[in-house]
């Protein structure tokens, strides 16, 4: 198994993907082609968000297993805040994408 540090990097990458996908769809100039991809983009974006959050849960589980209580105490508030921010922004970006392409 890869080192536990890769879970944080993977979480960051998947979080950025979760935000980038709806932004790319919104930035596309050709609305007709983008309209066909909106549902797939939203599913992929929210899936990437879920994977990012799952990786953070796995990292927290790793810290519990190695009994690194100080790391848990130091990072738990920040992880909870960033996880909420990731989820909120992903949902808002996907909602905006659906609103822009609604009925077109």
Q: pLDDT per residue over 51-103, tens digit each? A: 999 999 999 999 999 999 999 999 999 999 999 999 999 999 999 998 988 86
Tell me, yes or no, if the pTM score tops 0.85: yes
Q: Which two tokens stand for residue 74?
A: 């130091």
> Looking at residues 27-52, what average pLDDT do you find?
87
The per-residue pLDDT for 104 is: 57
CB-CB contact of 3 with 73 (8 Å): no
Reported as a pLDDT band with limits 50, 70 and 90, residue 5 is confident
Long-range contacts: 35-42, Cβ < 8 Å, 24+?
35/101, 35/104, 38/97, 38/98, 38/101, 41/94, 41/97, 42/94, 42/97, 42/98
17 has a pLDDT exceeding 80: yes
Listed residue (96, 101, 100) closest to 36, CA to CA: 101
Q: Which two tokens stand for residue 30?
A: 């050709």
Task: Report DSSP state, residue 103.
Answer: T
């Amino acid at each position: 198994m890869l080192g536990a540090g890769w879970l944080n990097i993977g979480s960051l990458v998947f979080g950025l993907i979760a935000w980038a996908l709806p932004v790319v769809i919104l930035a596309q100039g050709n609305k007709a082609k983008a309209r066909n991809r909106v549902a797939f983009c939203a599913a992929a974006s929210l899936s990437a968000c879920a994977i990012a959050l799952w990786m953070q849960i796995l990292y927290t589980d790793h810290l519990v297993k190695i009994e690194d209580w100080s790391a848990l105490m130091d990072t738990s508030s920040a992880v909870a805040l960033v996880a909420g921010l990731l989820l909120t922004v992903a949902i808002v970006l996907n909602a905006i994408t659906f609103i822009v392409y609604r009925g077109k």
